[in-house]
Every structure is written in C-alpha cells, then in structure tokens.
Structure 1
Amino acid sequence: MQVVGVTTQQEIYVASKDRKFRINEILVIEDAELGHPKGEVVETLSYNRLIPMGLDKSIVDSEVIRSLEQIGYDIGSDEVNLAKLRLFSEAPHPVRTGCGVRAPRFEEVRRLLVKTGPDEGLVLGEIRGTESLADTLDEDLRDRVHLLEDGEILPQRGVPFLFDIQSMQQYPHIGIFGGSGSGKSFGLRVILEEIMKLSIPTLVFDPHFEMQFGRRTSETGEEVPSFEGRWLSVQVGKEVGIRFSDLSTRDVVSLIGAAGGSLSESMVNVVQTLHRRRDSLHSFSDRLGNVAQAIEEGAQGLKRRLREEDLTPTDVQRVKDLLDLHQQYGSLPLASVKGVQWRLNRLEKAGLFQQDIRPIEEGLERGRLVVVQGASWILQVFSTYVIGALYRKRRDYKDARMNGEEGTFFPPFITVTDEAHHFAPKGVDSPPKMILKEIAQEGRKYGAFLILATQRPTLLDETITAQLNTKFVFRTVRGTDIATLREETDLTAEEGKRLPYLRSGDTFVSSAIFGRTVFVRIRASHTDSPHVANPFDELKAVRAERDERVLHVIRDHLPLFDTDLLDAVGHVNRECGLDWDVERLKRELDDWSAEGKIIRKESPFVTRYDVK
C-alpha cells in the first residue's frame, strides 16, 4: 500500500494492487517526518480496464492516475484498489507522496478506539473496520459482544465499542436518531441493559410499552445476564401518580396546560386565582365547579333564587355561598373557568391523582431502572411533574452541600424517553420541554443527564439537540433530518450519503468523547422486546388456534346438515367464547372444506358436512 496523488495536511489517497480497503478502517502512514500519522478510510473503490473510471466525480483524478503509472501500475489491465484517507490530526505539512502505508497493531490505535475499560463503560457493540486488529487485541477486550446479522448470531470480529459513561460529567447527554426499522429502539434497549449492569439510577418514559427486560434471549448461544431486581415497571394511574396536595400553583398550571395544549393567559389567571396551597383534588375541583356555577347564574339570577319560597335553610346557605363566590371571582371569564375544569376532569379520569411517585423515588434510590408506561399524552403530563420533582431533589441536595449544609441525599440519575420530539417539540411550547431544556443546559452540574431518542431530529427543540454531546445516528432517509444531523454532528458528506442505506443496527456515533465519528454495529441484546413477534405470524397463529378450537367442537356434531346450523352455532359460541351467527359458521365450514379439513357434500335438498 502506497500514498499516491496530491496530498494535503488532512487527506491523502492510498493505492494497492492486491488488498481491498474496508470503509472506516484505520491505517498507519509510514512518514517518519510526521511521526507515522494515522488516518481513517472514508471512501474506497476498485476498478480495472473493463470499468469506466469516472474521472469527473470519482476519488480518482488525473494526478492520482499519473502517480499510479509512475510507480508501476498498469492502469489498462491491473485492478487498482484506492482509498481516501482522512487523518485523525491535521499534519503540519502534507504527507510525502509514495511513502508506505500499513495496517496498525492494536496497541498503536488503542487510545483512538477505547476510552474506558469493559467493566467501567457501556459495552454497546463492535467498531466497524477494525477486523484487522483482532489478532493483536488485548485479552480483556476479546469475546465481549455477539452480533446479530441477517438473522444469524456472529462472534466478535473486531474491537468492541465501549462508551465511557463516566465522561458524561464533562460531555453530558445522548441523542439517538433513526427512522422506523433502523434499529433505534434496539440500540436504546442495549444502552439501557448496560446501564442496568452498572446500577445507575435511570428513569425511562415508555409510550410504546416495549421496554420490558424480563424475557432473556437465547439466540446468542451464551449465558446472558439476568436483570431481575435491577428494574421495575410502573404504569401511570395504577402504580404511580401525583398527590394533588403536593402541587404548587405553578405545578398545577403546568399540568393543566399539558392536559390539552398551551393555556391562554386568562386560563392561567383562573388557576392562579383559585388554587390554594395544600388544596386537595376535591377542594380545588369543587371550588372550580362552584365558581363556574356562580358566574353562569349571575348575581341577578342568584338573588331571584333567594326570593323563592320553597327553599330549605340548606338551599339558602348554598345560594349565599355562590353569591359570595360571584362577588369574589365574578370577573373571571366563564369559558376559561370551564376550560380549566374540563382539563382537570380529564386528568382525574386518567387516574393521574390516585397514587404518588414514591415507587419511582425508591427505585432510583436503590439504583434501579424505572420504566414508566402509559399513553403518550398522559406521559407528557406526568413527566412534567415527576422530572421536575426529582431534579429539584437532586439540585437541592447539591446546593446544600455547596453551602456547607448536609442536605438529604438523592442520587444522580438519567432521564430517558423515546419519541422525544413529542416531549420537547421545536417551535412549540410544551410543559415537559421547559424542564428538559433546563436539564440539558444545567443538569451536568447536578448529576442529571438525558438520553433522548426520536425518529425526527428536525422536530426536536434545537437548544436541546445542541446540548446532546453524543449522538447515535441510525438509518435516516428524510433529507431535512439528514441536513439537521449534518449540522449537529461532524458527519462528513460521504457519511451523510451513506445514512439512507445503513443496515438495521449500524450507527454512526458522533461523540465529543472520541472527538470524531465512529461507525459501530450494535451488539445483540440480552433481552427481547414484548413486540418482537412478527404481527403476520401472530395473525396466522391466532387464526389457526381459533380454527382448531372450533373444529374440535364441530367434530363432535359431524355429520352436520345445513338445517342443523342454528343449534351448532349456539354450541360453538358457548364453548369457544365467540359471537358468530349461522351465516358466519357456514362460511367457515365452506372454507375448511376447501382447505381439506372436512368434507362438504351437496344434494338437491341439503348440504352435508362430514369428517374427512
């Protein structure tokens, strides 16, 4: 392998007659004056006389061809392998043309590829293009991962990708981007598995009900770790909720706003005017309802009711109370009061105020991964409160320590959410976005970190996106999303062109920790998602199971005439829990006869179904 063509301080071209270059592999340039610099293959091709060279847009230009001919290549007949190499560090002067190039030994490039030990960092996958380093790999880095490719489990062939989670103190927050089917959720699962191994307190918002870790996979052929006791799953409205009496007026404004879009100024004023410190849900809801009734009936209407003769003393007191409320709050717009009342009722019906967040706090204090599940809209409401409450507890503890006070310890924690663009949308105010933006900008000082995953990085708030110091970029097809990712990372033009064609599970990791983009294959997960089954296989299995149950009941009544179907369908419905009518049973019998499961015989008078 030799350097050919015109060189610069940043890029060179390398040629070889008999060795094909791997994309993203690392090579050493034997230029002693520059201290044997190292570079990464960012573009490669092979050609011979039977293939047009495409001199206009290829990496092959006239200078490269002239150089190849001068060092003995037969351009007309030899297969020539070429690679564009980008140096890791800019050289003080261009690389010497014609100098040799070789594959490195692992110890020469370890500091470029490995930033931590496998027991201290997250073992997430394998760095692509490092297969040539396998023979010189350190023992502690061998056999660390298995890879799933084309449905087959393969052993580790290169250098494992270790993410130094300790460095998040300096380079906080992680973004995970990729379209549907790109491996984004799979990559997030692997990250969470590694976090659980290190017992780092983590709060996960799961709108898809897929972050379950109880089902271990058996595909890798190895003994996979069990995560029992390292995680717990809670559902909003069942195991967790919000204690209304703990809410401040500001919290109530945020929750009411999250329940149905941003609040108008008059609706905010309604909450601020009517909410009292330590209000229970019942007291605040009653006050809202009474004020709405007082405004709706008006002072004149209430006074007319007082003049009615058939009022009981209780009714009289009720009307007087409403008159007092009208005198105090009659200036509030009725529509705004009813709007707040409707949103509060919606949250109450969702069960948001039936529990508290104590299970989450206890889980984090014990170093667990806590998965919070629920509908997307209720998670947005709940996350507004719970993230803010936990972040305040952590911040209060750190501030107390800074002031020389003892404080109540609350652990550092990571907040994780999928569909992050719903929680922190670009250009639109949302209650969760306020607290997420605060953590993105200031959370590092207090030990609060974010892992945000989304299919649409363009729709995620720009301030938050800019604070994500590590970005996992999976297959992305939309041009606007690719442009956003190019702006927010150090992805090159060549890597940007590769994004729409990445295989599921392949990702570019752009990280300030590495100082460059690393191409990684995510390892096989230790656990399976509950949604791993193919829905069409599920459809086939459910239909087959149902048919078998019905046929088992029907066979006891065969032979069966179409005049007997009314009795038969009643028996089938009782035994199998179905709701078929006679026509449905007849259609199913005809289908089973066509499939050869039973025999159908026609006569001038009746149709007969019998055992085959």
Structure 2
Amino acid sequence: MQVVGVTTQQEVHIVSRERKFRINEILVIEDPSLNDPKGEVVETMAYNRLIPMGYDKSLVDHQILETLRNIGYDIESDEINLAKLRLFEEAPYPVRTGCSVRLPQFAEVRNLLVKTTPQDGMVLGEIRGTESMVESMSEDLQDQVMMLEQEELRSQCGVPFIFDIKTMQQYPHVGVFGGSGSGKSFGLRVMLEELMKLRIPTIVFDPHFEMDFRDQVPQLKDKCTRLHDRSIIVQIGQNVGISFSELSTRDVEQLLGAAGGHLTESMVNVVQSLHKRRDSYTSFSDRLNNLVQAQDEGSNQLKRKLNDSELTPLEAERIKDLLSLLQEYGTLPSASVRGIHWRLNRLEKAGLFQHDICAIEQGLEQGKLVVVQGSAWVLQVFATYVIGALYRKRREYKDRKMNGEEGHFFPPFVIVTDEAHNFAPKGVDSPAKHILKEIAQEGRKYGVFLFLATQRPTLLDETITAQLNSKFVFRTVRGTDIQTLKEETDLTPEEAKRLPYLRSGDTFVSSAAFGRTIFIRIRAAYTRSPHISNPFDELKQIAEERDEKVIQVIRKHLPLFDTDLLQIVGVVRRECGLDWDVARFKQELDRLAEEGRITKHETPFTTRYDQA
C-alpha cells in the first residue's frame, strides 16, 4: 500500500494491487518526518481492465494516474484498489507521495478508539473497520459484546465501542437520531441496559410501551444477570401521579396549559384568582365547580331560590355559598372559567391526581431505571411536572452543599425519552419544552443529563439540539434531516451520502469526547421489546388459534345441519368468546370447508357439515 497523487495536510490517496480497503478502517502512513500519521478510510474504489473507468467522476484524477504509471502499475490490466484517507490530525505540511502505508497494531491506536474500561463505561457495540486489530487487542477488550447479523448472533470481531459516561460532565447530553426501522429504538434499548449495568439513576418516558426489560434473550441470559431487578415500570394514573397540594399556582397553570393548549390571559387570571396555596385537588375542584354553577344560574335566580319557603337549612347554606362565590369571583369571564373547568376534568379523568411520584423518587435513589408509561399527551403533561420536581430536588441539594449547608441527598440522574420532538418541538410551545431547555443548558452543573431520541431532528428545538454533545446518527432518508445533522455534527460529505443506505443497527457516533466521528454497529441487546413479534405472524397465529377452538367445539355436535346453526352458534359464543351471529357462523363454516378442515354436503333440502 502506497500514497499516490497530490496530497494535502488533511487527506491523501492510497493504492494497493493485492488488498481491498475497508471503509472506516485505520491505517498508518510511514512518513517519519510527520511521526507516522494515522488516518481513516472515508472512500474506497476498485478498478480492473474489464470495467470502464470514469476518471473524471471518481477518486482518480490525472495526477493519480500519472503516479500509478510511474510506480509500475499497468492501468489497463492491473486491478487497482484505491482509497481516500483522512488524517485524524492535520499535518503541518503535506504527506510525502510514495510513502508506504500499513495496518496499525492495536496499541498504536488504542487512545483513538478506547477512552475507558468496559467496567466503567457503556459497552454499546463494535467499531467498524477494526477487524484487523483483533489479534493484537488487549485481553480486557475481548469478548465484550455479541453482535446480531442477519438475525444470527456472532462473536465480537472488532474493537468494542465504549462510551465513557464520565465525560458527560464536560460534554453533556446525547442525541439519538434515525428514521423508522433504522435501529434507533434498538440502540436506545442497549444504552438503557448499559445505564442499568452501571447503576446510574435514570427516568425514561416511554410513549410506545416498549421499554420493558423483563423478556430476556435466552442465548444471552448470563449477561442479563447484571440487570436483574434494576428497572421498574410505572404507569401514570395507576402507580404514579401528581400530588396536587404540592403544586404552586405556576405549576397549575403549566399543567392546565398542557391539558388543552396555550392558556389565554383571562384563563391565567382565573387560575391565579381561584388557586390557593396548599389547595388539594378536591378544594380547588369544588371551588371551580361551584363557580361554574353560580355563573350558570346567576345572582337573581339564586336569590329567588333563597326566598323559597320550602328550602331546607342545608340548601339555603349552599345557595349562600354560591352567592358569596359569585360576589367574589363573578367578574371572571364565564368562558374562561369553563375552559379551566374542562381542562381540570380532563386531567382528573386521566388519573393524574390519584397518586404521587414517591415510586419514581425511590427508584432513582436506589440507582434504578424507572420507565414511565402513558398515552402521549398525558406523558407530556406528567413529564413537565416530574422533570421539574426531580430537577429542583437535585438542584436544591447541590446549591445547599455549595453554601456549606446540609441537605437530603438526591442523586444525579439521566432523563431519557423517545419521540423527543413531541416534548420539545422547534418553533412551537409545549409543556415540557421549558424545563428541557433549562436542563440542556444548565443541567451539567447539577449532574442531570439528557438522552433524547427522535426520528425527526429537524423538528427538535434548536437550542436543545445544539447542546447534545454526543450524537448517534442511524439511517436517515429525509434531505432536511440530513442537512440538519450535517450542520449539528462533524459528518463529512462522504458520510452524509451514506446515511440513507446504512443497515439497521449501524450508526455514526459524533462525539466531542472523541473529537471525531466513529462508525459503529450496535451490539445485540440482552432483552427484547414486547413489540418484537411480526404483526403478520401474530395475525396468522391468532386466526389459527381461534379456528382450532371453534373446530373443537363444533366437533362434538357434528354432523351439523342448517337448522342446527342457531343453537350451536350460542355454544360457540359462550365457549370461544366470539360475538358471532348465525350469518357469520355459516360464513366461517364454509371457509373451514374450503380449507378442508371439515366437509360440506349440499342437498336439495339442506346443507350438512361433517368430519373431514
């Protein structure tokens, strides 16, 4: 392997007769005057005499052709393997043309590839293009991951990619980007497994109900032992909720705004007028309900009712309370009061005020991964409250410690969410956006970090995107998203062109901690998503199970005649749990007969169904 053509301080071209170059592999240029610089293959090409060559649109230019001829290549007959090599560090002057190029020993490039040990970092996958270094790799890095290729597990055959979580103190926050089917959610699952392995307190907002870590991959059960009991799943309205009495008036405004869109000024005035410090949900709701009723009936009608001679003392007291409420708050616009009333009822029906967040706080204090599940809009509303509450606890502890005061310890933690553009959309206000922006900009000082995943980086708030110092870029097809990623990362034009064609699970890692982009493949996950089954296999399986149940029931009553169907369909409904009428039952019998599972005999008088 040799350097050919015109060289620069950043890039050179190399050529070989015998060896084909791997994309992203690392090579050493033997130029002693530059201390043998190292570089990464960013583009490759192979020629032979049987294939026409478009010299004007490739790596090959006139200077490279001349160099090849001068060093003895037969352009018309030899197979020529060419590669463009980008140096890791800019050289003070161009590399000498004609230098030999060789594969490195692992020790020569360890500092470029590995920043921490597997025990202290997140072992996320395998660095592509490092297969040639396996034999010289140190023992502590061998057999760290299992890879999934073509649905088959294989052993590690490259250098493991280990993300040093401690560098987030200096380079905070992680973004995970990729289109549907790119492996983004799979990669996020692997990251969460590693956070569990390291016992880092983590809260995950799961809008798709897929971050369940109880279903282990049988072949990797020995790896899963480290994750046993390190995660808990809570559902909004069933296990966790919002303690209304702990909410400030500002918190109530944010929650009600999240329940149905931006609050108008008059709605904000209603909340500020009606909400009292330490209000419970019942006291605030009753006050609001009573005001709605009082405004509906009006002062005059209430006074007429009060003069009714048949009124009981309890009813009279009730009307006096309504009149008093109307006198105090009657100037508030009725439409705004009703708007707040509707929003509050919507939150209550979602179960938001039936529990508190003690289960989440306890899970984080135990170093566990807490998965919060709920419908999309409820999750956004709840995230606004819980992120703010947890962040304040951590911030208050750190501020007290800085001032030399003692406070209750609350651990640093990581916030993870999929579909992050729904929580912090660009150009649109949303419930959780304000607190996420604050953490993106200041969370590093308090030990609170973000892992945000989205299919549409273009739709994510730009302030937050700019603060994501490490970005995992999976397959991306949309031109606007690719352009956004080029602006927000150090992806080269060659790497950006590859984005639409990446295999599921392959990703570029653009990290300030490494100072360059690394191409990796995510390792096999130790656990499986509950949504892993193919929906078409599921459809077939359910249909077969249903048919088997029906056949077992009707087999006891064969032969069946048309006159029996009304009686038998009742038995089928009861024993199989199917809501079929006679017409549907007859259609299913005819289908089973066509498939040969029962027989059908037509006579001039009736139809008979019998054993196959």
TM-score, normalised via structure 2 length? 0.98
Q: Shift in Å at residue 389 of structure 1? A: 0.5
User: What is the SS of the residue equivalent to 2:84?
Assistant: strand
User: What is the SS of the residue equivalent to 1:431?
Assistant: coil
Q: 2:230 is matched with which residue?
A: 230
Q: Shift in Å at residue 292 of structure 1? A: 2.4
Q: Which segments of 5 or more consecutive residues in structure 1 lack a partner in the other structure?
A: none
The one-letter amino acid of 1:278's match is R
Aligned partners of 1:245 and 1:281 also within 8 Å = yes
User: What is the SS of the residue equivalent to 2:98?
Assistant: coil
After the TM superposition, which residues 563-582 of structure 1 pair with which residues of structure 2 at under 5 Å, given as runs?
563-582=563-582
Q: Shift in Å at residue 290 of structure 1? A: 1.9
Q: 1:279 is matched with which residue?
A: 279
Establish whether residue 168 from structure 1 lines up as the match of residue 168 from structure 2.
Answer: yes
Distance 1:563 1:321 in 2: 68
Give the count of matched residue pairs: 612
Q: Which segments of 5 or more consecutive residues in structure 2 lack a partner in the other structure?
A: none
Distance 1:236 1:535 in 2: 27
Establish whether residue 507 from structure 1 lines up as the match of residue 507 from structure 2.
Answer: yes
- Bigger drift between 244-253 and 323-332 goes to 323-332
After the TM superposition, which residues 291-440 of structure 1 pair with which residues of structure 2 at under 5 Å, given as runs?
291-440=291-440
Q: Shift in Å at residue 301 of structure 1? A: 3.9
Aligned partners of 1:243 and 1:355 also within 8 Å = yes
- Bigger drift between 396-405 and 317-326 goes to 317-326
Distance 1:191 1:432 in 2: 23
After the TM superposition, which residues 584-599 of structure 1 pair with which residues of structure 2 at under 5 Å, given as runs?
584-599=584-599
Distance 1:331 1:45 in 2: 78
Q: 1:123 is matched with which residue?
A: 123
User: What is the SS of the residue equivalent to 1:129?
Assistant: coil
- Bigger drift between 303-312 and 569-578 goes to 303-312
User: What is the SS of the residue equivalent to 1:435?
Assistant: helix
Structure 1 residues 90 and 202: CA distance shift in structure 2, 3 A: same
Aligned partners of 1:292 and 1:338 also within 8 Å = yes
Q: 2:73 is matched with which residue?
A: 73
Distance 1:146 1:228 in 2: 19
User: What is the SS of the residue equivalent to 1:521?
Assistant: strand
Distance 1:591 1:395 in 2: 66
Structure 1 residues 52 and 220: CA distance shift in structure 2, 3 A: farther
Q: 1:475 is matched with which residue?
A: 475
CA displacement 1:329-384 (0-9 Å, x = unmatched) = 22211111111110100010111111110010000001010111111111111111
Q: Shift in Å at residue 220 of structure 1? A: 5.0
Q: Shift in Å at residue 600 of structure 1? A: 1.3
Structure 1 residues 2 and 531: CA distance shift in structure 2, 3 A: same
Distance 1:39 1:239 in 2: 53
Distance 2:531 2:87 in 1: 43
Q: 1:4 is matched with which residue?
A: 4
After the TM superposition, which residues 593-612 of structure 1 pair with which residues of structure 2 at under 5 Å, given as runs?
593-612=593-612
Aligned partners of 1:225 and 1:526 also within 8 Å = no
The one-letter amino acid of 2:386's match is V
The one-letter amino acid of 2:251's match is D
CA displacement 1:47-73 (0-9 Å, x = unmatched) = 122223222221111111111111111
After the TM superposition, which residues 57-68 of structure 1 pair with which residues of structure 2 at under 5 Å, given as runs?
57-68=57-68
RMSD: 1.3
Aligned partners of 1:2 and 1:14 also within 8 Å = yes
- Bigger drift between 56-65 and 238-247 goes to 56-65
User: What is the SS of the residue equivalent to 2:187?
Assistant: helix
Aligned partners of 1:216 and 1:226 also within 8 Å = no
The one-letter amino acid of 1:177's match is F
The one-letter amino acid of 2:354's match is Q
Q: Shift in Å at residue 309 of structure 1? A: 4.4
After the TM superposition, which residues 238-253 of structure 1 pair with which residues of structure 2 at under 5 Å, given as runs?
238-253=238-253
Distance 2:39 2:113 in 1: 12
Distance 2:33 2:189 in 1: 46
The one-letter amino acid of 2:404's match is G
Aligned partners of 2:223 and 2:526 also within 8 Å = no
CA displacement 1:261-306 (0-9 Å, x = unmatched) = 1111111111111100110111101111222233333434444444
Aligned partners of 2:231 and 2:369 also within 8 Å = yes
CA displacement 1:407-465 (0-9 Å, x = unmatched) = 11000000101111111111111121111111100000000001011111111111001
Q: Shift in Å at residue 221 of structure 1? A: 8.5
Distance 1:403 1:569 in 2: 77
Aligned partners of 1:47 and 1:80 also within 8 Å = yes
Distance 2:222 2:508 in 1: 27
User: What is the SS of the residue equivalent to 2:204?
Assistant: strand
Aligned partners of 1:234 and 1:370 also within 8 Å = yes
After the TM superposition, which residues 489-500 of structure 1 pair with which residues of structure 2 at under 5 Å, given as runs?
489-500=489-500
Structure 1 residues 258 and 221: CA distance shift in structure 2, 3 A: closer
The one-letter amino acid of 1:78's match is D
Distance 2:99 2:548 in 1: 73
Aligned partners of 1:53 and 1:60 also within 8 Å = no
Structure 1 residues 159 and 396: CA distance shift in structure 2, 3 A: same
Q: Shift in Å at residue 307 of structure 1? A: 4.3
The one-letter amino acid of 1:469's match is N
Q: 1:37 is matched with which residue?
A: 37
Distance 2:504 2:252 in 1: 43
- Bigger drift between 256-265 and 110-119 goes to 256-265
Distance 1:358 1:570 in 2: 49
Q: Shift in Å at residue 321 of structure 1? A: 2.5
Distance 2:228 2:32 in 1: 55
Structure 1 residues 431 and 131: CA distance shift in structure 2, 3 A: same
The one-letter amino acid of 1:169's match is Q
User: What is the SS of the residue equivalent to 1:267?
Assistant: helix
Distance 1:126 1:602 in 2: 66
User: What is the SS of the residue equivalent to 1:203?
Assistant: strand
User: What is the SS of the residue equivalent to 1:42?
Assistant: strand
Distance 2:600 2:88 in 1: 76
Q: 1:135 is matched with which residue?
A: 135
Distance 2:606 2:312 in 1: 75
Aligned partners of 2:197 and 2:226 also within 8 Å = no
Q: 1:96 is matched with which residue?
A: 96
- Bigger drift between 401-410 and 45-54 goes to 45-54
The one-letter amino acid of 1:340's match is I
Structure 1 residues 435 and 229: CA distance shift in structure 2, 3 A: same
Distance 1:588 1:436 in 2: 54
Q: Shift in Å at residue 165 of structure 1? A: 0.3
Distance 1:19 1:447 in 2: 48
User: What is the SS of the residue equivalent to 1:293?
Assistant: helix
Q: Shift in Å at residue 594 of structure 1? A: 1.3
Distance 2:221 2:27 in 1: 34
Q: 1:190 is matched with which residue?
A: 190
User: What is the SS of the residue equivalent to 2:260?
Assistant: coil
User: What is the SS of the residue equivalent to 1:49?
Assistant: coil
Distance 1:267 1:55 in 2: 69
User: What is the SS of the residue equivalent to 2:241?
Assistant: coil
- Bigger drift between 586-595 and 109-118 goes to 586-595
Identity %: 70
Distance 1:512 1:38 in 2: 19
Aligned partners of 1:153 and 1:220 also within 8 Å = no
TM-score, normalised via structure 1 length? 0.98
The one-letter amino acid of 1:414's match is V
Establish whether residue 14 from structure 1 lines up as the match of residue 14 from structure 2.
Answer: yes
User: What is the SS of the residue equivalent to 1:94?
Assistant: coil
- Bigger drift between 194-203 and 578-587 goes to 578-587
